[in-house]
Amino acid sequence: GGRITHDPGERISWTNRPPVSLVMDTDINGKIVTETDPELRAKLVVDSSEDKRNRMKQVCSHCHTPDYINGFYEQYDDFVVLYNEKFAKPGRSIMASLRAEELITPTQFDEPIEWTWFYLWHHEGRRARHGASMMAPDYAHWHGMYEVAERFYEELIPQAKEITKHARESGQKLKADRVDAEIDAILSRPEHKWQENGHSREE
């Protein structure tokens, strides 16, 4: 068997702590590598997420078949990528755009949309991702992605649009237009088209 360790970090292939989940490629100090250039990244990574996952699979294999293990990881990866790409990265982008245009203040949590974003990724988003990682469907869906989607469509987007509306009314048209362009670009993506087509939330 593998080396005995009580450090679960040696077997975890995603970190679901930040707003956007990251693969657990770590450097010589055990820190997550965020470098995006492939060549530079390859030089920095000492322990890859795949290495960690393979160690976890060895543990899983004491009770489960390879198909079962691989099926779980396929579902888990798809779930995290869906969360990242559909909600987390767009939400982060909208918040960054509002801050860059100075339509929200530099102070944290002094405006409702900042609380909305925090709840989306820190509460519902983490709950969803951890639910998927632990094969807990109620937490992954009903207490997770359903609430992530509700928070995104019913609060974050309307609040962002309300901010740009007030900005435009106060003479900050160019700033409002740039943020609205960011929002419109996000909502025009295929995964968000259901709203434009008039489908219900149940669909």
Query: Can you give the residue range of the structural domain that contains 188?
Result: 72-196
Share of the chain above pLDDT 90, in %: 90
Tokens 């997550």 belong to residue: 32
**pLDDT tens digits, one per residue of 120-162:** 999 999 999 999 999 999 999 999 999 999 999 999 999 999 9
Residue 201 domain flag: no
* 163, two tokens: 């901010």
* 24, two tokens: 């657990």
Give the DSSP H or E segment for 77: helix 66-82
Q: Are residues 39 and 117 in the same domain?
A: no
Q: Are residues 55 and 83 in the same domain?
A: no
Instruction: Count CB-CB contacts under 10 A for residue 166.
Output: 12
* In contact, 170 and 192? CB cutoff 8 Å: no
Tokens 């679901």 belong to residue: 16
Q: Are residues 12 and 40 in the same domain?
A: yes
**pLDDT tens digits, one per residue of 31-73:** 999 999 999 999 999 999 999 999 999 999 999 999 999 999 9
Q: Are residues 118 and 172 in the same domain?
A: yes
The pTM (predicted TM-score) of the whole model is 0.91
Last residue of a domain, one of 39, 60, 81: 60
Residue 66 domain flag: no
Q: Please name which of 96, 85, 106 lies closest in space to residue 148, comparing C-alpha atoms.
A: 85
- In this structure, what DSSP letter does residue 170 have? T
Q: Please name which of 202, 125, 188 lies closest in space to residue 157, comparing C-alpha atoms.
A: 188
The tally of domains found in the chain comes to 2
Q: Are residues 49 and 28 in the same domain?
A: yes
The alpha carbon of 151 is separated from its chain's Cα centroid by a whole number of angstroms, namely 13
**pLDDT tens digits, one per residue of 91-121:** 999 999 999 999 999 999 999 999 999 999 9
* DSSP E strand boundaries for 16-75: 22-23
Residue 2 domain flag: no
